[in-house]
Amino acid sequence: MQHQAFLVEILTPNYNHMKKKKIEFYKLFKPIAEDRKLSTNAKLVAMYIYTLASFGMKVTASNLLISNSINLTKEEVLEAIETLQKNEYISDLRGVEYKKNIEIHKNDALKANYYKFFSSVLESDLHILSKFLQVYILSYENFNSFCYSTNKDILKDLAFEQFELNFAILQLKRKKLLTIINPRTRLRELRIGKTLTKNSKNWWDKP
């Protein structure tokens, strides 16, 4: 029996709340997470843009602001935007006088379920692959459930290669963030402990 990660259903957004406070989490929509044509960097940039679009916001952020928000370099953001345009996810019209924004094209993605990609995870010093796996496992814990996903499930849901999954598991284990219960059995369970951040706060800590 295959197990799939829990995905948050679309709720009516609270736009005013977003304007007043830092975003607690971004929405990694499932179609974006599963797209093998996108790098992990491109998925993060798409996540940023599509999250704001899902709240009815006009995306006018500079590459610097995007990079600071999701912990990438400006060069990585620029490359990701080029990839997203090539794959028809967005049009970068920030240089067009009467537009000055980034427009999305895959509007159906906004109707899909999504993983909560917490800002505290983005801000951590973990490798980007480990961040994706951490968010995936946390999607179960957010619902007080257990992650029994097989490697095959994870490879499909995150569009990982096997060596990428191996790397992410190893780093999370070395950081003592991941516990594997009943390894190499059908009842293997993945559990995330604390979330590593630059200021050593856990994702559930209040500011």
Is 99 found in the same domain as 32?
A: yes
pLDDT at position 5 is: 57
Return the CATH number at 77.
1.10.10.10
Domain that holds residue 53: 15-111
Residue 197 inside a domain? The answer is: no
Is 51 found in the same domain as 91?
A: yes
Residue 86 inside a domain? The answer is: yes
Say which residue the tokens 């369970």 belong to. Answer: 189
Name all contacts of 194-197 with Cβ < 8 Å and 24+ positions apart.
Answer: 195/118, 195/120, 195/121, 195/124, 195/134, 195/138, 196/124, 196/125, 196/126, 197/120, 197/121, 197/123, 197/124
Is 141 found in the same domain as 55?
A: no
pLDDT at position 4 is: 52
For every one of its 207 residues, what pLDDT tens digit does the chain have, with 9 covering 90 and above? Answer: 445 554 544 443 444 444 445 789 999 999 999 999 999 999 999 999 999 999 999 999 999 999 999 999 999 999 999 999 999 999 999 999 999 999 999 999 999 999 999 999 999 999 999 999 999 999 998 888 899 999 999 999 999 999 999 999 999 999 999 999 999 999 999 999 865 444 433 333 332
pLDDT at position 144 is: 82
Is 187 found in the same domain as 105?
A: no
pLDDT at position 143 is: 81
**Are 138 and 116 spatial neighbours (Cβ–Cβ below 8 Å)?**
yes
Residue 120 inside a domain? The answer is: no
Report how far residue 132's alpha carbon sits from residue 174's, in angstroms, rounded to the nearest whole number. Answer: 16
Which of 111, 134, 158 represents a domain boundary (last residue)?
A: 111
User: In the structure encoding, which two tokens stand for residue 176, read together?
Assistant: 């003592």
**Are 45 and 70 spatial neighbours (Cβ–Cβ below 8 Å)?**
yes
User: In the structure encoding, which two tokens stand for residue 104, read together?
Assistant: 């999305």
pLDDT at position 23 is: 86
Report how far residue 187's alpha carbon sits from residue 42's, in angstroms, rounded to the nearest whole number. Answer: 33
pLDDT at position 193 is: 82
Is 154 found in the same domain as 70?
A: no
Is 45 found in the same domain as 82?
A: yes
Residue 134 inside a domain? The answer is: yes
Return the CATH number at 132.
1.10.10
Count of structural domains within the chain: 2
SS3 state at 104 = strand
Is 107 found in the same domain as 21?
A: yes
Is 69 found in the same domain as 44?
A: yes
pLDDT at position 142 is: 80
Residue 3 inside a domain? The answer is: no
